[in-house]
Structure 1
C-alpha cells in the first residue's frame, strides 16, 4: 500500500535527509538552528549501538557546542589530553600532549566516547524540538527534477511512503543507497589485513605504565592499538603470521594476544569480538543537482587517527551552511563549492593521512620503526613542530585550508 508523505508538492525549502547516524543527525540539528524544514529517514528501526567511531577531535567538539551537544557528550566521555605511538614491550614512546594547542581551542584534548552516544544525544534534541524523524523507513526509489526531489521509502512491512523536498542529503553511511544517484565512481582500495576489534574491561592502565587513552603500538612482527572509553578498552588486533581469520577470532587466540600485551593472573574478560576490513575510497563528486553526499556515503578511510566520523560531521556543517544560503536565494551553483572544499580535504587530510598512519603502524622492520619513533619524538619535543603536528592531526589544518577555497 502506498501512502502520501507530508509534503503536497515539493517544498523547495524542505530537505530530505537519508541516514540517522552522526552525520545525518548533525545536519538535522543544524537545520533546526537555522529554521530549515527537513525530514530525516532511517532504514533501521532503532539507532545502532555498534561500537564504531570513538574519538572526537577538538574542532568537532567546538561545532557540537554550537548545537548544545558538546557538553552532554563530554559529560559521558573520557578526556584524553595526550596520545602516543609506542614500542612494546619496552614502553618507549612518542607522546603528543594537546596542551600544545591550548591557545587554539577551548578543547585541547581528544574525547573518547562512542559514536552511538552522540547519536542518542542528537536524536533526543531533534525530537525535543519537534523534528520529523522516520525510523524504519529505507530509501528505495529516488527521483529529482528542476523543482525538487522525491524519495520513495519502504517500511519493514512492505508499505511505502513518499517524501518530497527541494534537496536531498545522503548521509547513509558506507553502504549508501544515495551514493549511486550522485557519484559516477567510488575509487580506492581495500586493505589486505583484517582488523579484529576486541573490547574488555581489563585495566590495561594498571599494567602498562604511562599509557594514554589513545595508544598505537608496535610489537614484535606486528601491531595493535589500545583506545580507552569510560567503561572499557577497545583493542585492535590482527592475525598472527599465517593464522586464519577463523582462528584469530577464537576466544583462545584473543586471550593469548591480550596476555602478550599485559600478562596477568586475572583473565582478560572480553565483551565483544568483531572482525572487519578497512577501505580507502572516495567519490568523484559530492553533488548531482539537488542530491548531495556527506560522511561515509562520500568517503571511507582507515580508522587510524580517528578522522572518519569527525570528517563527516565537518561535511555536515559545511553542507548545511552552504545550503542555507542557496535556500535563501543564492544561486545553486554555490553548492559546487561544497565539493571543492570538502573533497580535496577528505582526500588529502583524511584519507591520505589515515593511510600514512596505517602504513606506519604496519611497518615491520625494527630499524625503520626506530627511525620513525625518533622522528616522532623529535616532533613532540619541539614546541613549534608539536603544535603544527597536533593542529593537523586534530583536523584544524584541513578545516583552515577548506575555508580558503572559493
Structure 2
C-alpha cells in the first residue's frame, strides 16, 4: 500500500530545511496531527537576518497557525512606504490603509526572520509527533513508484536512511533535494552582488522625512533602506569586480553610510552580509511525493520583500494538500499536481515579474526611461483605484485571492477564505 495512505499513519512527512519556510511547513503539518521529521544541517536554529518583511497575505496564513499575535507584539508595523530618488527625494508614497477593507493586516510587518524561526522552534520542540534533527543533512533522495520517498542522512549517528510518506524540500537555493531529483533551476544571476548592513543609529533622525521602508532609485548607487525593531538596514549594490573583503570592510561601510547621511561620529555596524542575487525558478516543483518550496523552488531579488512570503505560501499550500491526502480526503495526483502548477505559476507571474521590475526601476541608467518610470509611480500613487490595485499586488493579496492557498483541486479561489 502506498505510504501516503491512511494504512501507515505512523509514517512521517520529512521536511528538509529548518529555516522559516521549513519550520512553517512542519508547524502546519503538526497542527493537523501529521507526524513530522525536520532535518537541518545547522546545529541550532538559523539566525540569518536577511529577510525581514511579512506582508498582509502571509500574516493571514500565519494567523491560522496562532503566530501572528506574537509577531505583532515583537515586530514593527509599517503602513506607509516610499519610492524615492537619490537626487530628487520623494517620488511616491504608498499607503496600505487602502486595503484595510480587505485584510486585518493593512501594513508590512518588519520582523527579522530569525524571530519567526525562534518562535516555531520553541513550539515544535514541545509538540508531540514532531522530531527535530539538527546537525543532520540530506545527502540523497530516492522516490518510490508505489508512493513515498527515502532520504539518506548524515549526522551525529552516522549515515542512515529515513522513509516518509512525502518529502518537502525547503533546503534553500542550493537544495540537495532539488539536485537529487535532477530538476533544472533555470534563470540567471545578477552581475552585481547585494550588500546588507545594519546600524542602530536612528536614520530617521539624520534623514528627516523618510519612511520606515524606502526604495531609493539612482543610476549609480541605488539603495533600499528599511527599519526593523533592532536596527536600520541598508541594501546597496556591489560591483562584481570589488573583492568581498573590501565590500564589507569597516571603512567601506562607513563611506556608504556617511554618503547617505553625513554624521560626526562613525556609524555602529551591527550586521553585515554580502550575497549573490538570482532570478531562478525550478522547472517543476514536484516529482511524485517529493515537493520543493521556498528558495529550493524559486529565488529572486529582495526588492519587494516577497521571497520569504511566497515560500511560506508554498509551505502552507502543500501541507494542506498533504494533510488531506493522508487523511483520505484528497487524491494524491490531482492535489500535488495542483500545488506544483499553481505555485510555479505564482512564482513566475508575480514573484519573479515584480521583483525584477522593482530592481530594474531602482537601477535604471537611461535618463528618459528613469523619468518616465518616476512619473508612472507618481500617477499610480495619486490615483486611489490604481494605488489600491498596486497595494493588493505588493501585499500578495492579489495572488492569494486569485489562486487561493491549498484549495482542493477544482475549487474556486474567490469562494475561499485565507
TM-score, length-scaled by structure 1: 0.93
Paired with 1:350 and 1:189, the residues of 2 have a C-alpha distance of: 15
Question: Which residue number corresponds to residue 34 of structure 1?
Answer: 32
Question: Which residue number corresponds to residue 64 of structure 1?
Answer: 62
Residue 344, structure 1, aligned to residue 345, structure 2: yes
Which has the larger displacement, 255-264 or 294-303? 255-264
1:6-405 → structure 2 map (5 Å cutoff) = 14-130=12-128, 131-145=130-144, 146-155=146-155, 157=156, 159-219=158-218, 221-239=220-238, 245-329=244-328, 330-334=330-334, 335-403=336-404
| Gap regions ≥5 residues in structure 2 | 1-6, 411-418
Question: Which residue number corresponds to residue 3 of structure 2?
Answer: none
* Distance verdict in 2 for CA 1:271–1:371, change over 3 Å: same
| Gap regions ≥5 residues in structure 1 | 1-8
How far does residue 318 in structure 1 lie from its aligned partner after superposition? 0.8
Paired with 1:89 and 1:265, the residues of 2 have a C-alpha distance of: 22
Partner SS state of residue 92, structure 1: strand
Q: Deviations over 1:248-272 (max 9, x none)?
A: 3322222112111111113212123
Partner SS state of residue 303, structure 2: coil
How far does residue 220 in structure 1 lie from its aligned partner after superposition? 6.2
Q: Deviations over 1:280-333 (max 9, x none)?
A: 111111111111111111111111101111000000111011112221223211
Which has the larger displacement, 268-277 or 339-348? 268-277
Q: Deviations over 1:173-222 (max 9, x none)?
A: 11111012345311000001111111111211012122112111124632
Paired with 2:310 and 2:174, the residues of 1 have a C-alpha distance of: 17
Partner SS state of residue 209, structure 1: coil
How far does residue 230 in structure 1 lie from its aligned partner after superposition? 0.7
Paired with 2:209 and 2:98, the residues of 1 have a C-alpha distance of: 19
Paired with 2:242 and 2:377, the residues of 1 have a C-alpha distance of: 31
Paired with 1:183 and 1:381, the residues of 2 have a C-alpha distance of: 48
C-alpha RMSD of matched pairs (Å)? 2.0
How far does residue 10 in structure 1 lie from its aligned partner after superposition? 6.7
Paired with 1:205 and 1:30, the residues of 2 have a C-alpha distance of: 38
Paired with 1:159 and 1:241, the residues of 2 have a C-alpha distance of: 40
Paired with 2:243 and 2:42, the residues of 1 have a C-alpha distance of: 32
Paired with 1:315 and 1:174, the residues of 2 have a C-alpha distance of: 15
Aligned 8 A contact 1:26 1:313 in 2: yes
* Distance verdict in 2 for CA 1:244–1:180, change over 3 Å: closer
Q: Deviations over 1:12-63 (max 9, x none)?
A: 7521111111111111111121111111111111111121111000111111
Paired with 2:299 and 2:239, the residues of 1 have a C-alpha distance of: 26
TM-score, length-scaled by structure 2: 0.90
Aligned 8 A contact 1:186 1:281 in 2: yes
Partner SS state of residue 178, structure 1: helix
Paired with 1:58 and 1:147, the residues of 2 have a C-alpha distance of: 36
Partner SS state of residue 173, structure 1: coil
Paired with 2:381 and 2:199, the residues of 1 have a C-alpha distance of: 30
Paired with 1:288 and 1:220, the residues of 2 have a C-alpha distance of: 43
